[in-house]
Amino acid sequence: MTTTSLGTWLVVIVATATACAGGRPAQPRALVLITLDTTRADRLPIYGYGSLQAPALERLAGEGVVFDRTTSVAPLTLTAHTSLLTGLYPFHHGVRDNADHPLDVATPTLATILHERGFRTAAFVGSVVLAPDRGLARGFDVYDDGALAGVRPPRRRPGNEVVDHALEWLAANGRSRFFLWIHLYDAHAPQRPPEDLRRTYGDSYVGGVAFEDAQIGRMLYALDRSHLRGTTAVIVAGDHGESLGDHGENEHGIFVYESALHVPLIVSTPGVRVGRTHELTSLVDVAPTVMDLFGIRRLRTDGLSLAGVLAGRELADRPIYAESLYALRFGWSPLRAVRDERYKYIDAPRPELYDLENDPFETYDLSATRPDLVATMRAQLIRGFGKDVARANNVDELSFELRERLGALGYTSGPRTAGAGPGHDPKDEIRAYNTRQGLLR
């Protein structure tokens, strides 16, 4: 080991020891945030899935804290990422589906907050759903969606290309305080993993997740090689899951069941108490956690800082909220959900109630046998998260280019599905929706 390398690791060891003695993680110097699009937690080995090898995620799990029960706010990319980067639920930040108006310029994000404090900031995204005009580019010195001068960006690009660009930026900026966001889209349908992964797993979805893991491994190797890993916080989070046929939904966007909402979350930061936690968490907790880790006065958010959990403390009990307003585009009822430590209530024309402790796959609807609990949780939903939902934006208000971009990725907008009027339960329309999505593929 060289003198420089030895000195670097001594600094890391001292910082880690000091942090552990103080009962909380040390303040990191930089942040790498990696978001995994369409990645459900129960398809990862760190959550018990045995049919996939994911060494990079398993390494991170051994260097940080794995959150066992993290819930997305919505099964849609733009809505979920907006909540992750602002700490706000959709009804507060206003971006309630992928075709909604961009985030209001007055709303702070992690990028604007860290940039104001002198961080170099860069984002490398894998899909036009997160294109610069969708509202999340503010605060980034570089926001790379694959566009070239005078050429429209690709609708999507593979994770190796995303990470290639991110590594180039890191090599030039890694000695500064930095915030680097990497968005990987390879698990999103239609998945196109390399042929060797397709053959290995015999499943395009699992192959796509394996390819994401390989790209995470490349980033961790670059941090190691540059002697940045010991002073850099690395957070990996899924934006939402994928139904994969559960409850009749082939992909995602309509339903708010666990297959589409339960997402991975790993936080690895200097001085962290390595382990895992069963605390109930949400994507809105990521932004206040980052601000706490970097010693930044927290803005008002809907989330809670998880810095205490990283040091082994417990969170206060609170309800967790999720929604999907996407069905409004087809004239169907929106879906909203609230869950506590054990139960989950889905507000729909035919309400649903599940005991997630004993029925994690939401097989047995208890609403008919527990009307008292349905009433209690519905009241909790209204009291804590409002009674009404805002109208989804009219597709006619969107540019032709945006409609084309989203449609090419399977995010369709108007006209309404024939025969479906306002208030129709999405459960009654999902078969026709799957057929429509299949035709669009």
* pLDDT tens for each residue of 414-432: 543 333 345 789 999 898 8
Q: Are 320 and 304 in contact (CB under 8 A)?
A: no
Q: What is the model's pLDDT at position 338?
A: 97
| Neighbouring C-alpha atoms within 13 Å toward the C-beta of 77 | 29
Q: Which pair of structure tokens corresponds to residue 173?
A: 């900026």
> What whole-number percentage of the chain has pLDDT above 90?
72
366 or 331, higher pLDDT? 366
Q: Summarize the confidence of residues 228-235 as an average pLDDT.
A: 96
301 or 21, higher pLDDT? 301
Q: What is the DSSP string of 237-262?
A: EES----TTGGG-SSSSS--SHHHHE
> What CA–CA distance (Å, rounded) separates 290 from 117?
13
Residues of the chain with CATH 3.40.720.10: 29-318
Report whether pLDDT(4) > 50.
no
* pLDDT tens for each residue of 86-103: 999 999 999 998 888 899
Query: How large is the C-alpha radius of gyration of the chain?
Result: 21
Report which residue type is found at 280: L
Whether pTM > 0.75 for this model: the answer is yes
Q: E strands, 297-436, where?
A: 320-324, 335-339, 343-347, 352-355
Report whether pLDDT(26) > 70.
yes
* pLDDT tens for each residue of 303-353: 999 999 998 888 988 999 999 999 988 889 999 999 999 999 999 999 999
Q: Which of helix, strand or coil describes residue 380?
A: helix
Q: Which of helix, strand or coil describes residue 411?
A: coil
> What CA–CA distance (Å, rounded) separates 52 from 99?
33
Q: Are 323 and 422 in contact (CB under 8 A)?
A: no
> What CA–CA distance (Å, rounded) separates 432 from 422?
16
Q: What is the model's pLDDT at position 18?
A: 35
Domain at 29-318: CATH architecture = 3-Layer(aba) Sandwich (3.40)
Q: Which residue has the tokens 């660009």?
A: 165
Residues of the chain with CATH 3.30.1120.10: 322-440
Q: What is the model's pLDDT at position 331?
A: 86
Report which residue type is found at 4: T
Q: Which residue has the tokens 């009749």?
A: 248
Predicted confidence band at 404 (pLDDT cuts at 50, 70, 90)?
low
* pLDDT tens for each residue of 245-304: 999 999 999 999 999 999 999 999 998 989 999 999 999 999 999 999 999 987 889 999
Q: What is the model's pLDDT at position 13?
A: 32
Domain 322-440 has CATH 1.20.1560.10: no
Q: Summarize the confidence of residues 24-32 as an average pLDDT.
A: 88
